[in-house]
Structure 1
Amino acid sequence: MEFMADTPIILASGSPRRQELLRNLGIPFEIMPSDVEEVVELVDNDFADYAQKLAVKKAAAVSQMRSDAVIIAADTIVVFEGEVYPKPSSKGQAESFLRRFSGKTHSVFTGVSILGNGLSTVFAEETKVTFKELDDQLIRAYVDSGDPMDKAGGYGIQTAGALLVEKIDGDYLNVVGLPLSKLVETLRKEGIILLKEAE
C-alpha cells in the first residue's frame, strides 16, 4: 500500500515509533520535531482535551516555520486514578509507576492535531490498558533494560513492555503513540493523501 500527497506532510515528532508507523504505510512525510514546552492547563480532568491541547501546541510551533505544509503532531499521555504519568525521570520512578499499574487498568490518550493547507482539525483517542499482577523481579528486569525511560507511563507496549499487559480495550497503535486508523481516515477524507492505484 502506498499513498500520494500534493502538499508536503511534516510529522512534528522525533518519536521513532510514530515515524515507523507512517513509513510502514507508505505515507510520504518529512520530520521536524517540535521543541515547544509540553505544558498546558488541565481543565476539569478532561484528559482527552489535555492531550489535544499539547498536540495543537506542537503543530502550531512547526506550522510557523513551514506554512507550505500540512503538519501532523501528536501527544500521548498515560492516566491512572486522575493523574498523568509522564516519562519517568529515574529508574526508581519507573518502578514506582509500574507497581501502581500492576493488576489495574489505566488509560492512554493520544491527541492528534492536523494543521495546514486550510485544514485545522484535532481529535483524541483513548485506549484502556490492563496490566497483569507484576512481580518485583519482572519490574526490575524491565526497568533495567532501559526501555521505560523515554516512554509516557514508563513502558512501551510494542517492546518488552508487552509482557506487562493483560489486555487492552481500544486501538493498540494508540498506545504505541499514534492512532493510525483514525489519522489516515481523516487525512483521506480531507484530501491530504490519496491511495496510489496499483499499476
Structure 2
Amino acid sequence: MLILGSTSPRRKELLESAGIDFLTIKPNFDEDSIDKSAYDPKEYVSEMAKQKALSIYENYKDHVILTADTIVVIDNEILGKPKDEEDAYRMLKKLSNRTHEVHTAVSIVYKGKIENFISTSYVIFNDITDEEIYAYISTKEPMDKAGAYAIQSVVNDFIKGFKGDFHTIMGLPLKEVIERLKKYPL
C-alpha cells in the first residue's frame, strides 16, 4: 500500500488523477528543524522530503511511503511559505517581472531504502503591480504556498510562462513519480 505523506490537497489530487490507491498521513516532522542557510537549495528541499518520509516510515515499515517538498528559489534565496502578509508581499514583489526556479524533491521509502530525486522547472512572472499583489494577498491563498503563490490558481494572471514540468510547479512531478512507483508493490 502506498502512503502519501503530505497534507497538500494538490498532491492528493494529482495522485488521485493518476488512479493510484493510497492513504494520506501527515508527516510527524518539524519543518523548522532544518536550517535553510546550512544547505544549498536543492540539498535543502531534498532533505526536507527525506525527513518527512522517515518520520512516517517509523510507524509504517511495510508500506511504500511517498513524500515531497517544493521550494521557490530566486537569487539563490529559498522562498518558503510566507510568515505573514508583509512577507508574502516581499516575495511576490521579488518575483515580479523575473524568472525563478521551482524545485520539487520527492522521497520514496520502502523497507529501509530511500530513493530521492529532484525535478526543476522555471516560472516567468509578468510585471505585477502593488495593487494586484495586495488583492491576491487579501484572498489568503498565498499564505501556505512556497513563494507565496499557486500556479494553478488566480495567480495565473501573474504568470508569463514556464519551462519544465507543470506538475513539478504544482508540487509533485507526476509522470516521474508514476514511473518510479512501478518498481514497488502497491
TM-score (norm 1): 0.88
- 1:67–1:45 distance in 2 versus 1, CA, 3 Å: closer
Residue equivalent to 2:18 = 25
- Opposite residue 149 of structure 1, the aligned amino acid is M
Whether the 8 Å CA contact 1:48–1:125 is kept in 2: the answer is no
1:136 matches 2:130: yes
Alpha-carbon distance in structure 2 between the residues aligned to 1:124 and 1:185: 14
- Opposite residue 108 of structure 1, the aligned amino acid is V
Partner of 2:161, secondary structure, is strand
Partner of 2:152, secondary structure, is coil
Measure how far apart 1:45 and its partner are: 5.7
Question: Which structure 2 segments of 5+ residues have no match?
Answer: none
1:185 matches 2:179: yes
Residue equivalent to 2:7 = 14
Residue equivalent to 1:3 = none
Measure how far apart 1:60 and its partner are: 0.5
Residue equivalent to 1:34 = 27
Measure how far apart 1:42 and its partner are: 5.2
- 1:134–1:54 distance in 2 versus 1, CA, 3 Å: same
- Opposite residue 77 of structure 2, the aligned amino acid is E
- 1:192–1:170 distance in 2 versus 1, CA, 3 Å: farther
Alpha-carbon distance in structure 1 between the residues aligned to 2:28 and 2:135: 32
Whether the 8 Å CA contact 1:49–1:124 is kept in 2: the answer is no
Measure how far apart 1:164 and its partner are: 0.8
Residues 137-156 of structure 1, C-alpha deviations (whole Å, 9 max, x = no match): 21111111111011011000
Whether the 8 Å CA contact 2:6–2:68 is kept in 1: the answer is yes
Whether the 8 Å CA contact 2:65–2:108 is kept in 1: the answer is yes
Bigger-Rg structure (1/2)? 1
Taking only aligned residues, the RMSD between alpha carbons, in angstroms, comes to: 1.6
Measure how far apart 1:25 and its partner are: 1.1
Whether the 8 Å CA contact 1:112–1:123 is kept in 2: the answer is yes
Match of 2:59 among 65, 82, 89: 65
Identity %: 36
- Opposite residue 36 of structure 1, the aligned amino acid is F
1:127 matches 2:121: yes
Partner of 2:49, secondary structure, is helix
Which structure's residues are more often helix, by fraction?
Answer: 2
TM-score (norm 2): 0.94
Stretch moving more, 43-52 or 119-128: 43-52
Partner of 1:48, secondary structure, is helix
